[in-house]
A and B are shown apart, each in its own frame.
Chain A
Amino acid sequence: MSENLIELLISWGVDARKAASQVEYLAGATVPFAIWETVYTTVLSTLFAYIIGLPLGIILVTGEREGIRPLPPALMKILNTVVNLLRSVPFLILMVCVKPISRFILGTSIGTVASIVPLTLAAAPFVARVVESSLREMDRGVIEASQSMGCSPWQIVTKVMLPECRPSLITGFTTATITILSYGAMAGTIGGGGLGAMALLRGYGRQETAVLYVAVIFLVILVQIIQSIGTAVAVKTDRRIQHTQTKRRKGT
């Protein structure tokens, strides 16, 4: 099996020694491990980014002057400015900048786990904006109806806004996860692990094209899986389109 692969690579004009070392690398445990690293970095970073970004996104909507629980305009201005500032710094630079924070929290700034901190901090403002734009789709009339029923701001957020915006929030969550996955791949250049590091350090750095392609293929597969699941869940749980769906099913 691996002999055939080496021969295939050689037939493509790859140097014999290099072909052998690449196939050996790809056949080992490093690829599954890189996938695993990418998956858990993405999952944990997304989780933490939402822990910060979700409340922040909610506040950006509810705290406005016309929102359901207006906050001091000065505070809203500061929040918006901070989010915009963080969003405007290119991710790679932001990651380098927050390395000291990583060192402070985890004692190290190198490694896969350490890359979760900058990933989280870089993704949180992005998540906040994604959440914000989902919640802005909320029908004002429905919020007014709940206010007329005596809902508190907290009840409006938890019982009305979040459930009613669920499909859009799930779509946003999918986008955010994929963005964080690609951020994580870039983190490979500054000491993170996973498929990104594999593609950049081995594939690009050592000119091992086969390794590069394999890493990219797995990244593409991961993105496809996340996107398909995200879209399917968003559509499946959206009660507004059930009507047309059943109709279509009957029609065909």
Chain B
Amino acid sequence: MEEPIIRITGLTKHFGGGENEVAALEDINIEIRRGEIFGVIGLSGAGKSTLVRCINLLERPTAGSVVVDGKEMTALGPKELRQARKSIGMIFQGFNLLMQRTALDNICFPLELAGKGRKEAVARARELLEVVDLASKEKAYPAQLSGGQKQRIAIARTLAMDPRVLLCDEATSALDPKTTRDILRLIQDINKRLGITVVVITHEMKVIEEICSRVAILDHGSLAETGTVEEVFANPRSEAGRRLVYPDGVPYEVLRQEAACARVIRVAFNGGTAYQPLIASLAIDCGVKANILGADTRNIDGRAFGTMLLGLPEDEAQAAKALAYIRSQKDITVEEVPDYHE
């Protein structure tokens, strides 16, 4: 198979030291293929920004390796690193344009860095303004542009570097839904037409659904799962994946299918025995293995309160046995969860 354009191995990043050390990333392994749009999703504080910033080494990893386009980024000296960064574009939630330069001059900036003459730079910048559909705003300053327009200029500015990879850190999070869609379409277009590999960081499922081919779910600094968007969204395997795909709780039908059980019951604890002993004694006394599909219980002074969803085996006799056993317990009520169709 083709060598991935970005290969992240054992990436670990800790901030601070001593007592207030924060483990922002822990042993991350990701491979991003040439030409794909790869999404990284996770809740706030999951370490998404830290992860992308480790790709172009804005953040130096504590451990692990980051290979971009065949170069081990962590091994580069300052000068080589600057050179390598020129083929990795990055756009941000806050746009980060130069406020004292016009739209055109913002796009000229990386060209100036590359030592291009003014005439050549302006000509190229004008082309890129066309690409992002903002030719009329050439002389405008960022303060005169809307958020969506600013992001377009920022995109044109990174394109001026002729990058192989485009990193987008919450690039649409400051924009309204319509503008978000337009910007995503532009990114998709760039990916298709110019063959630039895109890494999209976001906390919005919509963004991933819209443009990504594969996705990684980040949870508290660890990689919860990776896969194609269809796979992960249809069947999230990790706890974090479920929380993202089903923010309002997992639908019963999904639970039931997964657990391969015919019946789902809701057990309510009203201050009796805690749930672990119940599951254990179910197995020991009745020989019934129940699946915990979800639980929202609290232990107060060794007594359990709350509810739990249990999946019972297909076998009718066993299920009946289990139900009878649970019903016989003190301070526990049981009800069957009817088919999940409203």
Contact = CB atoms under 8 A, between A and B. Distances in A.
The answer on A and B forming one complex is: yes
Interface of A: 139, 141-142, 144-152, 155, 159-160, 163-164, 166, 238-243
Contacts of A146: 109
B96 A141 contact: yes
Given A239-B143, A243-B143, A149 B161 contact: yes
Contacts of B82: 150-152
Contacts of B112: 159
B20 interface: no
Nearest to B91: A145
Contacts of B158: 149
Residue among B86, B97, B102, B143 with the highest chain A CB neighbour number at 10 A: B143
Contacts of A163: 98, 100-101
Contacts, number: 79
Nearest to B79: A152
B92 to A, nearest CB: 6
B85 A147 contact: yes
B100 A145 contact: no
A242 B113 contact: no
Given A150-B86, A239-B101, A243-B141, A145 B161 contact: no
Nearest to B167: A148
A149 B99 contact: no
Contacts of A139: 94, 96
A242 B38 CA distance: 39
Contacts of A150: 82-86, 110, 113, 161
Q: Is the interface of A mostly helix, strand, loop or mixed?
A: helix
B90 interface: yes
B54 to A, nearest CB: 12
Contacts of B85: 147-150
B158 to A, nearest CB: 8
Nearest to A160: B98
A144 B100 CA distance: 17
Contacts of B167: 148
11 contacts: A144-B96, A145-B96, A146-B109, A147-B85, A148-B89, A149-B86, A149-B113, A159-B109, A163-B101, A239-B100, A239-B143
Interface of B: 56, 58, 82-86, 88-90, 92, 94, 96-102, 109-110, 112-113, 141-144, 154, 157-158, 161, 167
Contacts of B154: 145
A176 B157 CA distance: 36
B174 to A, nearest CB: 12
Contacts of B94: 139, 141
A148 B90 contact: yes
A164 B113 CA distance: 16
Contacts of A151: 82, 113
Residue among A139, A141, A239 with the highest chain B CB neighbour number at 10 A: A239
A144 B58 contact: yes
A240 B113 contact: no
Nearest to A166: B100
Given A148-B90, A151-B82, 11 more contacts: A141-B94, A149-B161, A150-B85, A150-B161, A152-B82, A159-B109, A159-B113, A163-B101, A240-B142, A243-B141, A243-B143
Which 9 A-B pairs give the minimum distances between C-beta atoms? A145-B96, A148-B90, A150-B82, A150-B86, A150-B85, A239-B141, A141-B96, A243-B143, A240-B143
A159 to B, nearest CB: 7
A241 B35 CA distance: 41
A238 B96 CA distance: 17
A243 B98 contact: no
Nearest to A239: B141
A242 B110 contact: no
Contacts of A147: 58, 85
B56 A148 contact: yes
Contacts of B102: 239
A73 to B, nearest CB: 15
Contacts of A243: 141, 143-144
Nearest to B90: A148
B162 to A, nearest CB: 12
Contacts of B141: 239-240, 242-243
Contact of B99 (A152, A155, A159, A239): A239
B144 A148 contact: no
A159 B85 CA distance: 18
Contacts of B161: 149-150
A65 B331 CA distance: 61
